[in-house]
Amino acid sequence: MNLPNVISAELAKLRTLPIAILCAVGTVLVGAAIATTLAATATEQGGSAPTAVGQAVPFAQVGIILLGVLASAHEHSGGQFRTSLAAVPNRGLLVTGKSIAALITVALTSLLTVGVSMGVVTLTHHPSDGLTAASAAEQWRLAGAVVYLTFIGVLSHAVGLLARHLVPALVSMLALVLIVPPLLGGLTEHARWLPDRAGSLLYLPGADSVLTPGTGTLVLLGWLIATGPAAVAAFITRDA
Amino acid sequence: MSLGNATLSELRKTATLPATWAAVTLTLLGSVAITVLNALTVRRALSAGTPELVADTSSFETGFTAMPIIGVVGAIVVGVTVIGSEYTADRAESGGARQITTTLTATPHRTTLFASKAMIVLAFVTMMALVTIPGNIALAGAIIGDAGTETVSLTEAVNRSLGTALYWALMGLLAFSITVLTRSGIIPLLVLITNSSVVSFSLLLTNVTPLAHWLPDMAGRNLFGFPPESVVQGGLEPVPGAVVMGSWALALLVVAGIVFRRRDA
């Protein structure tokens, strides 16, 4: 088996997993709904459409986290994983194919979420409502939102590979991204090194004094580098 | 099977479920870690003579900061996995069966089974509250010592601790009922954990309509009794909020019990 075949096989598995499709569709819909809701309050404050979409990103990341964890953990419930190993004995190839398939899925969903949210907000809130037009910097922030969501999805995929079970991986990622940052953020300034805090610089303007969007991306990459090789090594060396 | 026997067997099942102890342990360790961090910061500010740098020098408030939210997540995980573990499919070579069929064979009377599971959720969340809440407050008090000024009276401290334990218990029962209805733990875990964080759908809904304050997690959030400057204003008072949240939990328990009794498995 070569890499393109493995990637298309993994993509086919995800495409035919009902909960993965539901999760992707749900993320897009929830993101659009929340962006529209937030845009209603943003018009009163003289914001723009990308600001509302940026505020909806923390909500959309929840669906992306589930999607990323599903991409790696769905095979371990039941015996499907052993079938995959029988089909692709080369574990390095298998984990590469899985990860690239997860990356494609998560990136596509992120792109759709941000795009559809932006479109729905622009359509439902006419500029005459008080919603200012998007500047060039704000359009870059939309791209940053897509990048951030993709990063979080791939991080969830790595955590899923490590945990091998859906519930522990899901609870850990949700705690890391949703529960821990506000609690630590109120206590110490070092909470800026947490993935969602560092990543928020990609889609929120000037959220932190020390990090910039570029360094925020580097911090996210650092988190991936910390978990990715560990996940790959575990995948290759563990039993099944 | 009698209710007592069913409860004992459910106790054993839940006590040997790794997820239960993971939830309890992580609640304890997580809240202790943040309490220690908080208390050390307060003590450092007090000994440096700059108490105005920290929001509060009360040892109760220091121990109480992070514990409620972390405990809610623990209660949700316990409530979801007690019934979610029954619906997890076995490995394919073991037949791919779900534990619920064995459980229903052993305890055919479904109301007894449902009631015993609900009582076990209550028992584990109460045990978690009994250990975590006093433990954190005592730890914060031990670290800060006499240096801080206590702004919280004893009756208020007891009320807030009991309110937090009540919130955890009701949230655990809500998670349990919703998982009985969905038969899978993924969606309840996702929705409920997201709702108990700052990225809360219910909180967002309160911006759209004030009726959202009657949602269970919004109604009960004033049970924690956080100082007014650190929470979003509005919502129900603690006691009416507790009644509303309790009514939600009771209603969902009844609905889940009826559905559990009538459907196939």
H/E element holding B198? none
Which whole-number Å values give the CA distances from B171 to A67, B28, B66, B245, in the listed order?
Answer: 25, 17, 17, 9
Task: Classify residue B48 by its DSSP letter.
Answer: T
Strand partners, B98: B89
- pLDDT 10s digits, B197-217: 888 899 888 888 888 899 999
Whole-prediction pTM: 0.93
pLDDT of residue A128: 60
With a CB cutoff of 8 Å and minimum separation 6, the contacts of B263 are none
A167: nearest CB among B19, B38, B66: B19
Give every CB contact of residue A203 below 8 A, 6+ residues apart in sequence.
A54, A57, A141, A142, A144, A145, A148
Lowest-pLDDT range of A188-192, B185-189, B255-259? A188-192
Amino acid present at A1 = M
Say what percent of chain A tops pLDDT 90: 62
Verify whether the Cβ–Cβ distance B37 to A188 is below 8 Å.
yes
Give the pLDDT confidence of A211-234 residue by residue, as tens digits.
Answer: 888 888 999 999 999 999 999 999
Degrees, nearest 5: CA angle B179-A102-A121: 75
ipTM for the assembly: 0.89
Kindly identify which residue of chain B lies nearest to residue A60, measuring between CA atoms.
B199
Q: Do A80 and B34 touch (CB under 8 A)?
A: no
Chain A residue with Cα closest to B196: A179
Q: Rounded CA gap, A65 and A152, in Å? A: 7
* Inter-chain touch B34–A183, beta carbons under 8 Å: yes
CA-wise closest residue to A240 among B7, B177, B93, B217: B93
B148 against A199, higher pLDDT: A199
A171 pLDDT more than 90:
yes
Asked if B66 lies within 8 A of A59 by C-beta distance, the reply is no
Q: How far apart are alpha carbons B257 and B184 in whole angstroms? A: 16
**Helix, strand, coil tally for chain A in percent (to 5):** 80, 0, 20
Question: Which residues in chain A touch residue B70, judged by CB atoms under 8 angstroms apart?
Answer: 179, 183
**Beta carbons of B189 and A170 less than 8 Å apart:** yes
The confidence score (pLDDT) of residue A207 equals: 67
pLDDT at A109: 97
Report pLDDT digits (tens) over A98-135. Answer: 999 999 999 999 999 999 999 998 888 776 666 666 67
> A140: Cβ–Cβ under 8 A, 6 or more apart, which residues?
none
- With pLDDT > 70 as the criterion, what percentage of chain B qualifies? 99
Residue of A nearest to B72 (CA): A179
Q: Which residue has the higher pLDDT, A41 or B247?
A: B247
Closest CA to A50 of A151, A137, A152, A128: A137
B86-113 pLDDT, tens digit each: 998 777 677 778 899 999 999 999 999 9
Find the distance separating the first CA and the last CA of chain A, reported in whole Å: 19
pLDDT at B180 over 80: yes
